[in-house]
Amino acid sequence: MEEIGQPLKKESVPIITVDVVVLTLDQGQLQVLLQRRPYAPFVGVWALPGGFVHMDEDQDTLAAIQRVLRDKTGASGLYVEQLATYSGGNRDPRGWSVSVAYMAILPKADLHIAQSPDIALVDTANLPDLAFDHAAILKDGLARLRGKGAYSTLPAMLLPKEFTLSELQAAYEVALGEKLDTSVFRRKVADFEFLEKTGENRSGTSKRPARLYRLKETMQTFERTLGRSF
Amino acid sequence: MEEIGQPLKKESVPIITVDVVVLTLDQGQLQVLLQRRPYAPFVGVWALPGGFVHMDEDQDTLAAIQRVLRDKTGASGLYVEQLATYSGGNRDPRGWSVSVAYMAILPKADLHIAQSPDIALVDTANLPDLAFDHAAILKDGLARLRGKGAYSTLPAMLLPKEFTLSELQAAYEVALGEKLDTSVFRRKVADFEFLEKTGENRSGTSKRPARLYRLKETMQTFERTLGRSF
């Protein structure tokens, strides 16, 4: 009896998507890659880059997000980390959906974005409204960067491979959202021994040349933690 | 032309499941909750507790795993944290699947497991073969506990609400997989100010009574980090 009169169910096949929070640094600003949605739902609204999983083509959701990134940024083999999975019957008007969200942190020079008014790097301090629950996903991504940034080399991934200590400090400050004391910062960098000198200097500025550093090979992953916090 | 002769595709509706790594401490051993699978695939093989998402019933995957935990452990409202999502065409013989995996860390007294030969707490140092990719999921869960344990109150969640400093140190040692120096441990516990005295002592042992502590209210979440490592 109770079955009669139930509202028509939405599509009973779940929707499986992937989305990605791509963060980079430009002129001292933490920026996120957004695209304007070309179709419904949320047509014309900015969103994180993403798409459906292609079950006949993608080995797993990691392969799916690599495909999406390749299509939208020209970058292949980008290092991404799983952020979290967002799910439920209310986040997408098309039906019960699961989005596996990833995070990519990279220097701006590694992004080759199509010339289009519908894809852009946007200052994370000045965001438009976002489609679906993408504002929450982005917020979680920024919290991850801030949380892990304090005890890992994550902020260094915002920079090109070679950087000065001033540039590294600026990356940590943007990631953590706070100013750091230069002498404390430099002592901790020395303590943790995660950098090596390239042997080159950055010249061409008005100041005296600054030594260039890079992450040691063994430190070039997200999960490599420093054991203590900045 | 290329369409002809393609092998028959597996079911093209994705399978959405949830699984959970339930960790607890018993007599100095880190233990995980396992169940023997009652049906194919992997019938009779041990696996992490889990099940299908019920799209008509579960608001999201968190609600789904809470339902699974309630059914299998008698515990409702357990605090769980998302671990990671595992996906792909090869991890489940029934088709392309997504499993959103969670983690629960709790004192043994909070688990009310059915009396059954098919559900058990198993020493993580002495595991049977597990179904699907559950060995990899469990490995990731143990790594999370080890990694976060070093700079968070996570290991304290293995204990009852009130504990002695010796019991807390034992929980950290099991979580981190290494012995800790007692004087260093106690100094750091004092530095981080995440405990409060209950005002009671543990008596009844042959030693002199030991003071009982509990986590401060504000520290009773997974994500609450201590800022520095043990």
Strand partners, B18: B51, B100
Q: How far apart are CA B178 and CA B158, in angstroms?
A: 16
pLDDT, chain B, mean: 87
Same domain, A85 and A198: no
Task: Tell whether the model's pLDDT for residue A223 goes beyond 60.
Answer: no
Same domain, B104 and B189: no
Same domain, A137 and A43: yes
Percent of chain A clearing pLDDT 90 (strictly above) = 66
Q: Which two tokens stand for residue A166?
A: 């001033």
Domain that holds residue B87: 15-148
Question: Higher model confidence: residue A150 or residue B181?
Answer: B181
Q: Do B88 and A13 touch (CB under 8 A)?
A: no
Out of A14, A56, A60, whose CB is closest to B16?
Answer: A14
Same domain, A135 and A112: yes
How many domains are there within chain B? 2
Contact A131, A120 (CB under 8 A): no
* CATH number, domain containing residue A162: 1.10.10.10
- Domain assignment present for residue B224? The answer is no
Q: Which of A119, A99, A113, A101 is nearest to A37 (CA)?
A: A119
Q: Which of A226, A162, A151, A154 is nearest to A194 (CA)?
A: A226
- Domain assignment present for residue A7? The answer is no
pLDDT at residue B183, rounded to an integer: 93
Q: Using pLDDT thresholds of 50, 70 and 90, give the confidence band for residue B175.
A: very high
Task: Tell whether the model's pLDDT for residue A207 goes beyond 90.
Answer: no
* CATH number, domain containing residue B37: 3.90.79.10
Confirm or reject contact between B6 and chain A (CB < 8 A).
no
ipTM: 0.86
pLDDT at residue A115, rounded to an integer: 82
Which residues in chain B touch residue A223, judged by CB atoms under 8 angstroms apart?
Answer: 147
What single-letter DSSP state applies at residue B57? T
Which of B106-110, B136-140, B187-191 shows the lowest per-residue confidence on average (mean pLDDT)? B187-191
pLDDT at residue B230, rounded to an integer: 42
Confirm or reject contact between B12 and chain A (CB < 8 A).
yes
This prediction's pTM:
0.88
Same domain, A171 and A103: no
For the segment A29-53, the average pLDDT, to the nearest whole number, is 96
For the segment A143-148, the average pLDDT, to the nearest whole number, is 88
Contact B156, B168 (CB under 8 A): yes
Same domain, B107 and B194: no
Question: Higher model confidence: residue B165 or residue B230?
Answer: B165
Q: How far apart are CA B17 and CA B87, in angstroms?
A: 10
Domain boundary residue, one of B148, B176, B204: B148
Nearest CA in chain A to B62: A87
pLDDT at residue B3, rounded to an integer: 42
- Domain assignment present for residue A228? The answer is no
Same domain, B100 and B44: yes
pLDDT at residue B193, rounded to an integer: 83
pLDDT at residue B149, rounded to an integer: 83
- Judged by DSSP in three states, B143 sits in helix
- Domain assignment present for residue A135? The answer is yes
Alpha helices in chain B (DSSP H): 61-73, 134-149, 165-176, 182-192
Task: Tell whether the model's pLDDT for residue A140 goes beyond 70.
Answer: yes
For the segment B5-22, the average pLDDT, to the nearest whole number, is 75
pLDDT at residue B11, rounded to an integer: 54
pLDDT, chain A, mean: 87
Buried b / exposed e over B125-154, threshold 16 CB at 10 Å, is: eeeeebbbbbbebbebbbebbbebbbbbbb
Q: Using one digit for the tens of pLDDT, what is the confidence trace for B117-127?
A: 999 999 999 99
pLDDT at residue B150, rounded to an integer: 79
Count A/B contacts: CB-CB distance under 8 Å: 73
Same domain, B191 and B113: no
Question: Higher model confidence: residue B116 or residue B165?
Answer: B165
Q: Using pLDDT thresholds of 50, 70 and 90, give the confidence band for residue B220.
A: low
Closest approach of B41 to chain A, Cα-based (Å): 20
pLDDT at residue B7, rounded to an integer: 45
Q: Using pLDDT thresholds of 50, 70 and 90, give the confidence band for residue A49.
A: very high
Q: Do A227 and B150 touch (CB under 8 A)?
A: yes
Same domain, A144 and A157: no
Same domain, A28 and A142: yes
Which of A41-50, A179-188, B57-66, B96-105 shows the lowest per-residue confidence on average (mean pLDDT)? A179-188
Question: Higher model confidence: residue B12 or residue A39?
Answer: A39
pLDDT at residue B114, rounded to an integer: 78
Same domain, B167 and B214: yes
Q: How far apart are CA B166 and CA B204, in angstroms?
A: 15
- Domain assignment present for residue A5? The answer is no
